[in-house]
Structure 1
Amino acid sequence: MAAATAVAGAAEAAHLQACGCKGIRSCLICERLRQGPPPWQISTQKKYHFLYCPDSGCAVGPEDSDFKGWAFPFPGVTLIKDFVTPEEEAEMVHLMDSDPWKLSQSGRRKQDYGPKVNFRKQKLKMAGFQGLPSFSQKVVQRMGLYPGLEDFQPVEQCNLDYSPERGSAIDPHLDDAWLWGERLVSLNLLSATVVSMSCEAPGSLLLSEAPSVGPDASDGSVVAPSRSVPCQEVEVAISVPCRSLLVLTGAARHQWAHAIHRRHINARRVCATFRELSSEFLPGGKQQTLGRELLQAALSFRGRPV
């Protein structure tokens, strides 16, 4: 009996080495071993769903919902389609795959190009950080050609690899604001996906008639009727095409958590997320000297995954 238990334990340990899940996180690999998802991993579904409209900058009710024709402003989202060409995409992913991927939580794999950070203790180490990868230099230069990104200087790049076979996902979260600055910039490669936004703030969102877009749109001078919906029950879906660049700022960066649900990963997806420094590490900030060292290293574009 003891021998059988030991064998089973060894098999489980070997199997779990194929995933990077810890604590309450899980993926299809460890869920199969456990014969089903643990109860705490079954995410609560939001009651009300809206779709982000890039043309109006609003979250609008879907055609098949009770909120058809209703919307609310959703600022802080910029979507730049066809940011890279298919050829550039293929070359970038090829170069990423030339370096090892590390197992990560919830069925993801990752490559980090940045300082080692302890966000809880607010400490970081430069050791091992040699900069962003060389293949990102042209991408970063191109970002500066777009409004709102002219002065964007990323100091960290995180590549994440999502796979439907692993059940890859990422839970709703807000990125750190002690080290990372105002803009989060993500390049979506290999397949389209959906970024799901949610907010746990109390209160209600005020809805109004969805704005018209296009040449026949009205000037909005007529007072429109309104209704409200509990903020904590709302999820906003941002459709992110392949090879597009997604920028989150303001409320979309600091108030609305972002997530990738497992059901929205239908093929391999690689995402490269670029982060800039917060004001504490910029000229005039308490840690401006360290910030200058980080930027100098990052923008040398000589890095390898750390």
Structure 2
Amino acid sequence: MADSFASSLPCACKGIRFCASCLDSERVKKLNSENVNHNFDGYQTYVFNPANQRCYLTPNISTNSSVTDIQKQSDWLQQQSSDVLSNIESFQINGLLILENFLNENEEDKLVKEIEITPWVLSQSGRRKQDYGPKVNFKHKKVKCDRFIGVPEYADELLKKMNEKSNGILDSYQPFELCNLEYEPSRLSAIELHQDDMWIWGNRLISLNLLSDSVMTYENSEIKKIVFVFMQRRYLLSMFDDARYKWKHGIFSHHIINRRIALTMREPAKAFQLGGELYEKYGKELIERGNIRIPIL
């Protein structure tokens, strides 16, 4: 349950989103009465094994399972022989990549200290954010470049590591946006199951998990499958291809167990890249701004 301090904080939620501060509001009560939350009856549940990047059928795990439960199942899968795993129903999500221990402890500590220099602003679903990117009207497909003055200097070290550790998958990454999101259990922080916008953002999405273990949940309503990906702190997760375009992803509030920071990056969609129909209108300037580095003072 949220504490009294969290419930007294201002709130940025609207629509179907809510947090500890607005949980008892008339808007959220109406959402609950209309059963806005997804019903996962009939879904099969799987746990992701980072050792071989496959998802294994795990009937004893559900959307109510804890981070610890999912971690134990993930650890168990990694310890099993190929003979044992071959007897468990499994499949692979094309385009789901986990890089374990992307940062060491000292690198994480340094990065978090640099992130904390910038003030946080309220966001929806109990989160706070730092947004380095353009202002986008997704509905009307318009972009304002003015507020995008570049990305923080610490992005360069992360981009370098992505090149070195991803076997070419994340090479030549052009940040079109860098966004830091802070999650706190006392605020019921979460991110609903969703797909990132496909008009402006490109194929490879990046999420670096800092400060706390958590779980990313993937859902495919066409095949009625849910996959739980245990994310240890300092893991980097990338989703592209099928993971990006055929699956929704999100984080349930009960999978935020301590303060967590997610550093996310997005690249331009093809229409915004050189040769695309929106390159001259938006892409050229946004790419130029994405290559500017903001000093950490």
* TM-score in terms of structure 1 length: 0.78
Counterpart code for 1:59: C
Contact in 2 for aligned 1:188/1:272 (Cα 8 Å): yes
Contact in 1 for aligned 2:190/2:251 (Cα 8 Å): yes
Counterpart code for 2:16: I
Q: Distance in 1 between matches of 2:121 and 2:270?
A: 30
Q: Distance in 2 between matches of 1:95 and 1:139?
A: 13
Total equivalences in the alignment? 258
Q: Distance in 2 between matches of 1:193 and 1:273?
A: 15
Deviation at 1:260, TM superposition (A): 0.3
Deviation at 1:197, TM superposition (A): 0.3
Taking only aligned residues, the RMSD between alpha carbons, in angstroms, comes to 2.2
- Where in structure 2 are the equivalents of 1:263-302 lying within 5 Å? 263-289=254-280, 290-302=282-294
- Residue deviations 1:126-156, cap 9 Å, x none? 1021111112221122212232111211111
Identity rate, percent: 35
Provide closer, same or farther for how the CA distance between residues 60 and 166 of structure 1 changes in structure 2, counting only shifts above 3 A: same
Moved over 6 A (4+): none
Contact in 1 for aligned 2:135/2:143 (Cα 8 Å): yes
SS at 2:114 equivalent: helix
Ranges in structure 2 where 5+ consecutive residues have no aligned partner: 1-6, 62-86
289-298 or 116-125, larger mean C-alpha shift:
289-298
Contact in 2 for aligned 1:25/1:41 (Cα 8 Å): no
Task: Find out whether 1:27 has 2:19 as its counterpart.
Answer: yes
- Residue deviations 1:226-249, cap 9 Å, x none? xxxxx23x2101111111110101
Structure 1 counterpart of 2:179 = 158
1:115 counterpart (134, 142, 145)? 134
Ranges in structure 1 where 5+ consecutive residues have no aligned partner: 1-14, 202-230
Contact in 1 for aligned 2:125/2:190 (Cα 8 Å): yes
Deviation at 1:23, TM superposition (A): 2.3
SS at 2:119 equivalent: coil
Provide closer, same or farther for how the CA distance between residues 135 and 50 of structure 1 changes in structure 2, counting only shifts above 3 A: same
Deviation at 1:48, TM superposition (A): 2.2
Counterpart code for 1:102: V
In our comparison, the structure showing a higher alpha carbon Rg is 1
- Residue deviations 1:208-262, cap 9 Å, x none? xxxxxxxxxxxxxxxxxxxxxxx23x21011111111101011100010001011
Contact in 2 for aligned 1:156/1:298 (Cα 8 Å): yes
Contact in 2 for aligned 1:196/1:260 (Cα 8 Å): yes
Q: Distance in 2 between matches of 1:276 and 1:181?
A: 5
SS at 2:151 equivalent: coil
- Residue deviations 1:162-218, cap 9 Å, x none? 0000000011100111111110011110011111000122xxxxxxxxxxxxxxxxx
